[in-house]
Structure 1
Amino acid sequence: MGGWLDLTTGMGINVGDYFTKVSSQIMDFVSGLSPGKKLAMVGVGGGILMVIIGMFFWAGDKTFSPLMTNLNPEDSANIIRLLREKNIPFRVDQGGKNISVTPENLDQLRLEIATMGFPENSVVGYEIFDKQSLATTSFVQKVNQKRALEGELMRTIKSISGVKRARVHLAIPTKSTFVEDQKKSTASVVLDLEPGVVLSEKQVYGIGTLVARAVEGMDTTDVVIVDNHGKTLSKNASDSLAQATATQLEYRSKVEGDLEKRVEAILGRVVGEGHVIAKISADLDFAQVNETQTIYDADGSAVRSVQRDTKSMEGSRPTASGPAGALSNTPGQTPGAGVVKLSDTKTSNETTNYEVPQTVRRTQKSVGSIQKLSVAVMMDGKQTRTPAADGKFETKSEAWSAEKLKEFEDIVASTVGLDRKRGDILEIKTMEFKQEDFLEAELVLKEKERKSYIQNIVLYSVIGVTIVLFFLLVVRPFIKWITENTIDSVDTFLPQTLEELERMQKNAILPGLEEAIPVLPDRVDPEKVEGEMIKEKIITLVDSNPHKAALILKDWLHEPVKKEDGAEGDKGGGPGKSKTG
């Protein structure tokens, strides 16, 4: 029979005897346990076995990666049909909305699905016109145009963060010949949002503007936006007006708050923080006014051009003479000549063109400009400290002088930009502020801190006691139980007597190793073995601490030897004889 070699002792161990011994020890160990310990071992062993089996299943299970998410039933059915045709393993989650496949097939399937038009097959865009027939009627063309526009808007809205799906319905009326009969286009948008997503007013307004600008003749107020729960998200004209009013009030409060903080900050450095209160009422102008003004400067006119026209006439002209009648007009007759003397004529015209300077001013008044300010400031009295009879100081409040109040008015007027011409009002009053009694509040705060401190102490104490009890009642008994069982098993497994050790050595020597293993004598002298062990121990101690060993030997050499001690040493083996060998 084969065996093992124990290199520490040089002895061979029979394999069959070893396993027989171990199995018997295990059976004895189990039989010696109480029913509770047996049940605990069964439970722990079963749990470990289940964990191991689960790890094997988990290691052998295929990992899946999401292929498509948030699918509608039609797209999900088409993709599942494709996967089954290709015999590709897949997993469906969320009621068919999410489909997952193995990582090695993920990229290829995504490309194939994108080529087939999934998951956008239910949304038709302008690609509907790619396969349009020449025999398509005008009515079908209008319907396809409407479907394409709705589909493109759906795709665009779906790309917005937080929007899972979108439906767009357009109502585009037929164009009328008469303008007064033309109806406006309207739109309805249904949004399916991601869980926990709430669109802001700006996002809703942006979606409405997107739809309105995509359809001719549509205004933002003609777009109604609702979510998948039927809640209206868009605002109508009245809501827009209310929103504008709320914005104006918010801006007014901000202006008033900023001015109040300025006044309190600058006066607080003088009278003390918390000793001044400022309240300001601002009248703002939110009207949008555009003005165009043209100014002519007559005094600064200049001659641009001068045009002069002069005419003159001088000399005489002949006049008709001879008797009146037919004789004078008969051919061949020469009338007597006459000359009329004319006076000289001279005409002169002059036109002067002037360039008049003009200034054109186009003014757009800012919205929210201040028209009037009403400022009210209340100040605490001047705080003075006077020594009291008990040695402490007493604080008294005195009214500020008129000169100081005038200085405060000038400071406040400059801080808020006060303008008396537009009717601004400023009032500063001095009154004694009520001093709050902080003693009671301080006591309440201290009591609260004390309770919190006690609660923390109790909490940490309970945690510490729980840890100690767990160690004493669970960890320590478990360690003791394991240690005792291990010690008992080792003590039982080892040989108990020298005869048993010799018998084990003789029975466990492997074939061919008789010469390699030193042969032990038939009988082992216990006193010799004990002496050798003591000798080895003394040598080890001397090597570890030679100085101390030298001192001990020196004391032994100088110690007088008595007869009684010598007799006892001979009888029991003195340290110089039996102990050192």
Structure 2
Amino acid sequence: MGKLQDIFIRLLERWKMLSKGKKIAISSLVIGTITILIYIGISASKPKYSVLFSDLDPKDSGNVVEILKEKKVNYKVQGSSILVPEAQVAPLKMEVLSKVEFTGNSKGFEIFNNDSMVSTDFENQIKYQKALQGEIERMIKAFEEVKESKVILKLPEKDAFAIKQNTNKASAAVSIKLKPGIKDLKTEQTKTIVSLLTGAVENLQKENVHIAVNGMKLATSNLYEKEGEEGLLASNQQDIKNAKEETLKKNVLNVLNPIYGNGVNVAVNVDLNFDAIQTETKDYKQGVVVSEHNIDTKDRNSNSNVTSSPVDNNMSNRAGNSANDNTTEHKESTKNYNVPEVVKKEIQAPGKVEKVSVSVAVDEAVGALDDGSKEKIRSTVASAIGFDEKRGDTISVQGFDFKNNNKDIMDTANEELKKSEMQEKRNKIGMGIGVAITGIIILLGIFLVYRKFNKDQEEDLMDNLIEDSVMPKDTVSFEPIIFEKENEKSHMENEVKKYAQSKPDQVAEIVKSWIAEDER
């Protein structure tokens, strides 16, 4: 306790010795440091805010704010986002969703909740159309990529007394505004929206759905035209190619991993033909008789003399028969054949595999590969991929010294896991460490400045002492001292004594500074 008191007294005495300008500079530095530390402390103690909801309709945002006010929850509104303390985001979101029905300024079938009993059929039809439009708008807004949507339906009129069914087609116009950062909808996403519309609206064909994205781009233009004839789209072709390669790669790894573990890498490249080819073949078989027409004509000319009794035909008596025959015969045959014509049409579906190339790299740390081992691997891989030599398939097997073996990989993974676990702790104490380092730097700066000021003050005191006690040699006049032999040393001692008697405070400070320097 005594040492602390002595240090405080010394500091107080040194403070009194400083000039007015130095006192102002040191005071400003200390006050600024304290202000910075207080600001950092207040900033660190403030709760961190996170987004509760964003991009809401003004009406929905108002409903959310009302609930937050009722629960007396601190919140901030920044643009179209509502922020609350980060720790309360999850429970507040669940509670708000259970109480607020987000409509996005689109009214659905709840429009009939306050329906009057005297509505006409025409009014009900208009309300139904608006409700259906609102429900479809909500459905489209539910997609992650969509920020806003507007749907206009044109429904065919229904007449209860119509004898003939109305054949008019329904149509739909949809305007979609995407979220920032998303430039366009994919083809499959557009088809999904079209499919939902055709399923929700009666008598609506996909050709009558028109979707505009971000104002001026028609997403449904040529969406379904010649889709089957021209083959698959380029994006789908790449997806099919990647899926085929991934399937073959997985088949190869399934048979090699039990043998080599993680010491094997496989790369597969598949060449696919996405052309839609239609082939027509005609084959004529042996004819078959389907009808036959034969004509056989015999012409016989004869002269004969017959005698008979006129008594009775049953009892005729022929005395004799003499003939002179002349016969002509004609034959004609006509056959009709049916020649079978076999027409064979073959349509080659897009995506035919034309060639498969497989490269297998085995870590030599698992075991050196000889020709026999490589041949076994080729045979195994060939069975896994459905190898076809006529197709030009190739299999390459090579042994390599992997730079990162399994142990290194596991060690690296463990290190990354530890780093990720420690990152959160570091973030929590990071600000505290920053404040501490800042404080140390500021205090060190104060100490160095104060030490420099103290050193300058001591030098000023010494200069004053020397100026007061030491005179130039050419102007020095020595006064005789009684009973002592006068010389320069004795004269200096006498002058110092006189200075100490006339200015004891300054001499005391000089002596204290000397003692302090010796203690250091």
Bucket of the pairwise TM-score, normalised by the shorter protein: 0.3 to 0.5
Q: TM-score normalized by structure 2?
A: 0.42
Q: TM-score normalized by structure 1?
A: 0.38
> If you compute each CA radius of gyration, which structure gives the higher value, 1 or 2?
1
